[in-house]
Amino acid sequence: MKLFITLAWRNIWRNKRRTLISMSSVLFAVMLAITFYSMEKGTYDRMIESMVTYSTGYLQVQDVLFEEEPSMDNAMLFDESLKKILDDMSNQIALYVPRIQNFALVATDDQTRGIMVLGIDPLKESQLNNLTDDVAEGSFLDPDDDDIVVAQGLAGILGVSVGDTITLLGQGFQGATAAGRYAIKGLADLRLPEMNNNTIYMSLPAAQWFYMAEDRLTSLLIMPHNPRHSRAVVNELNQRLDTEWYRALHWEEMLEDLLRLMKFDIAGTMVMMMILYIVVAFGIYGTIMTMMIERQREFAMLISLGMKRGQLAVICFFESLFISISGALAGILVAVPVVVYFKLFPITFTGEMADTFADMGFEPVLPFSADPWVFVSQALVVLAIAFVIGLYPIRKAYTLDIMKVKK
C-alpha cells in the first residue's frame, strides 16, 4: 500500500500545472464555503445567545396557561415548594432568574406608546446577561429600587433622558388597574433592536407592586450548567413540578418561529454551497478524465507487463483523493486566519446599513464562528466528492481494452 501511495503522489506532479489548477479550484471553493458557513453560523449563534440571555433563557418555568394567554392573570406563584425543587437540582441548574414581563402604556407630555415592562432581580439579571454593561447613561437598578431604566432606543422615541419622569398605565393581576409615575434612573443600550425600542426595566418588587402581583412571576428563566443538557433539565423539571399549575419549556419551543426562519435561510446557503461544490466536482472530474485519456498507453503497458488492474485502480483512486484532499487542506489553512480575524473583530455596520438591520430586528453586526465543525464539515464534503469521483478511474482501469489503445 505504501508503494501505491508513493506512486500516486508522484503521478499527480508529473503535470504540475494541471494539478495546481485543480487544487486551486478546490481551495477557493472550500475557503468560500467555510467563510459563508462561519458567517452564517456566527450570526445565528449570536442571535440565539442574545435571545436566550435577554429574553427567554435556555428554559423557563411558567404557569400552564401563560404560553397560550400571556397575561398577568396567568402569572405563577413563586412559593417555597418551587424554590425547593430548584435548590434540589442545583447540580444541574447554574442560575435561575425571576421575571415579570407584561405590556403597558407609557405616557409623556407629547405621546403615548405601548411598551414591555420587565420586572427583574438586578443582581441575577446581571449574572445572566451583564445588563449593567449595557448602561449607556445614568446607573442601573438596585434590588429594591423604585426608579426605572429605559432602553436607549425607546428613550429616543419618547424624547426623555435620565432624571425625567414618565407615566405607566396597564392592567394588573386579576383586573387590577396598574398606574404609576416613575423617574428614569438610567438608559440601557440593548443588543436586540426590537427590545431596544420598547423595553423598560423595573426592580422585581416595584413591578410586583405595579401589577398588584405579590409573590408572582410571569416566568422563571433557568440557565443550566451545561446548555447541551437543557433538554434533560426540562424533562426532569416537568417530572418534579405540579403539572396542574406549572410547566417547563425549552428555548427551542419558545423561539420556534425564529428557528424556522433560520432553517429556511440555511437551506438557501446550502444551495449556494452545493453550486460551489458542483463546480469543484466537475473541475476535479475533468482533471482525472484528462489524466486517464492521456495515460491510456501507459496503463496498457503496465497491464501488459503484469500489473493487476486492481492495483492500477487503487493508484488512480489515490491520485483523485490526493488532489481533492490537498486542495481542501489548503482551503482550510487559508480560511482559518480569515475566520479567526472576523471572530475577534466582527463586521459592524453603521449608517443606513445599520438602520436597515435594526428595522429587520437584527443587531447590525456580522460575527463569525470558529467552531471546529465549520472546518471539518467542509473537509468531509470534499472527501465525499473525492470518493465519488475516484470511482471513475477505478472503472476505467477495469474496463480498459489494451488491444484498442492507440500506439
179-214 pLDDT, tens digit per residue, is 899 999 999 988 777 788 889 999 999 999 999 988
**How confident is the model at residue 202, as a pLDDT?**
93
- Residue 252 resides in a domain: no
- Residue 404 resides in a domain: no
What is the Cα–Cα distance from 91 to 94, expressed in whole angstroms?
Answer: 8
Q: How far is CA 346 from CA 38, 340, 343, in A?
A: 12, 10, 6
Overall number of domains in the chain:
2
- Residue 407 resides in a domain: no
In this structure, the answer to whether residues 34 and 122 fall within a common structural domain is no
Torsional class of 108: left (φ above 0), alpha (ψ -120 to 50), beta (otherwise): beta
- β-pairing, 165-171 with 93-107? antiparallel
- Residue 97 resides in a domain: yes
Stretch (H or E) spanning 25:
helix 16-51
Alpha helix locations (H) across 345-371?
A: 351-359
- Residue 250 resides in a domain: no
**How confident is the model at residue 88, as a pLDDT?**
87
**How confident is the model at residue 407, as a pLDDT?**
55
With a CB cutoff of 8 Å and minimum separation 6, the contacts of 30 are 327, 328, 330, 331, 332, 335, 378, 379, 382
What is the Cα–Cα distance from 273 to 29, expressed in whole angstroms?
Answer: 8
What is the Cα–Cα distance from 127 to 95, expressed in whole angstroms?
Answer: 8
* Residue listed under C-alpha cell 428563566: 221
- Cell numbers for 20, please give them: 495546481
In this structure, the answer to whether residues 73 and 37 fall within a common structural domain is no
Q: What's the sign of the alpha-carbon dihedral 263, 266, 268, 273?
A: negative
- Which of 282, 390, 382 has the alpha carbon at shortest distance from 332? 382
In this structure, the answer to whether residues 274 and 353 fall within a common structural domain is yes
Of 242, 275, 297, the position where a domain reaches its end is 242
Domain that holds residue 390: 2-51+258-399
Stretch (H or E) spanning 98:
strand 93-107
Stretch (H or E) spanning 184:
strand 177-188
Please write down the long-range contacts of 260-263, taking CB distance under 8 Å and 24 or more positions apart.
262/44, 262/47
Rg for the chain (alpha carbons), in Å? 31
In this structure, the answer to whether residues 151 and 107 fall within a common structural domain is yes
Helix, coil or strand: residue 99: strand
In this structure, the answer to whether residues 145 and 91 fall within a common structural domain is yes
**How confident is the model at residue 257, as a pLDDT?**
77
In this structure, the answer to whether residues 172 and 308 fall within a common structural domain is no
In this structure, the answer to whether residues 353 and 385 fall within a common structural domain is yes
Of 242, 272, 296, the position where a domain reaches its end is 242
- Residue 253 resides in a domain: no
What is the Cα–Cα distance from 221 to 61, expressed in whole angstroms?
Answer: 7
In this structure, the answer to whether residues 69 and 35 fall within a common structural domain is no
**How confident is the model at residue 184, as a pLDDT?**
92
Q: Tell me 248's DSSP state.
A: E
In this structure, the answer to whether residues 21 and 82 fall within a common structural domain is no
- Residue 171 resides in a domain: yes
- pLDDT tens for 283-294 read 777 777 877 777
In this structure, the answer to whether residues 309 and 204 fall within a common structural domain is no
pLDDT-flagged residues of the chain (< 50): none
**How confident is the model at residue 383, as a pLDDT?**
77
What is the Cα–Cα distance from 81 to 62, expressed in whole angstroms?
Answer: 14
- β-pairing, 148-151 with 177-188? parallel
In this structure, the answer to whether residues 279 and 384 fall within a common structural domain is yes
- Residue 265 resides in a domain: yes
Q: How far is CA 23 from CA 14, 273, 321, in A?
A: 14, 18, 11
In this structure, the answer to whether residues 226 and 294 fall within a common structural domain is no
Of 191, 216, 242, the position where a domain reaches its end is 242
**How confident is the model at residue 167, as a pLDDT?**
92
Residues 124-135: b if buried by 16+ CB within 10 A, e if exposed: bbbebbebbebb
